Amino acid sequence: MRPILFHLGTIPIYSYGFTLAVAFIIGVWAVGRRAQKRSITVFDRVVDLALWVLVGALVGSRILFVLLELPTYLKNPVSILFFNQGGLSFYGGVLGGFACGLIYAKRKALPVWPLADLAAPWIALGYSIVRIGCFLNGCCYGVPANVPWALSCAAGDSLLRHPTQLYALGASLAIFLVLLWLERCKPFDSLVFWSYIGLYSIARFVIEIFRESQILAFGWLRTTQVGCLVLLLLAGWMIYRGYRKQGQVQSIGGEETFSSNK
């Protein structure tokens, strides 16, 4: 484990924070460049939007994580402020980031779903980068295992475990590639974004089976897995609605064309 990546003089640069910053910079650059190239909005506006999303994501992800681990944080409330120790919930980040981004986009009259589709692949890539930070920090680790690829990947623990941080990294890279392909041939706006939510939910549901210290919700289902199922159903419904609406538009267009040829 390497929670402190390096020092700038006497200032420690933490692995988790460093990878989060790298993911943010790459995402803003990629989305801003593509949005400007496709005449959706200017690069500077994307930077402003990204800052809103970042603040909302950090606050939302921390709040949800603390609520899920409330008994632990009640013992030491000051530790809520220790972001360098990890402890961010992805679902809280999605909710907080999307809410703040939506507020900003509405205020500036930006096209919400085209921007969300542009951002989705880079959220997946950024998530994979941040999981490197989790691995170096020794958080989000798996249960003890005797598989050939088991690693000592928990801070202060020598047990060999499932490297669930690396599982998440690999899954997110695969999702990133799928979304890049889908972005080029999407039939309607919002498809890429909701596909990301659905694919992430499936991957996270499976990875949670191998993760340590998760709260059980219903029987063997963990709290995060319940969230995965809810978001998967939501994503499926939104994609179904999008295809249905697209089909209705095409049907209407076909009828008008037929009528005009009579």
Q: Which of the four pLDDT bands, split at 50, 70 and 90, describes residue 217? A: low
pLDDT at 198 > cutoff 70: yes
Residue 160, in any domain of the structure: yes
pLDDT at 84 > cutoff 60: no
**Digit-coded pLDDT (tens) for 26-75:** 999 999 999 999 888 888 999 999 999 989 988 888 887 777 777 677 77
Q: What is the pTM of this model?
A: 0.85
Residue 155, in any domain of the structure: yes
Q: What is the span of the domain harbouring residue 173? A: 4-248
pLDDT at 258 > cutoff 90: no
pLDDT mean over 99-106: 91
Q: Which of 87-96, 120-129, 238-247 has the lowest mean pLDDT?
A: 87-96
pLDDT at 261 > cutoff 50: no
Give exposure, 194-209, as e/b (b: 16+ Cβ within 10 Å): bbbbbbbbbbbbebbe
Residue 258, in any domain of the structure: no
Q: Which pLDDT does position 216 carry in this prediction?
A: 65
Q: Which pLDDT does position 235 carry in this prediction?
A: 96
Q: Which of 147, 126, 153, 133 shows the shortest CA–CA distance to 212?
A: 153
Residue 254, in any domain of the structure: no
The count of structural domains within the chain is 1
Residue 58, in any domain of the structure: yes
Q: Which residues contact 249 (CB under 8 A, 6 or more apart)?
A: none
Residue 261, in any domain of the structure: no
Residue 257, in any domain of the structure: no
186 conformational bin, left if phi > 0, alpha if psi -120 to 50, beta if neither: beta
Residue 262, in any domain of the structure: no
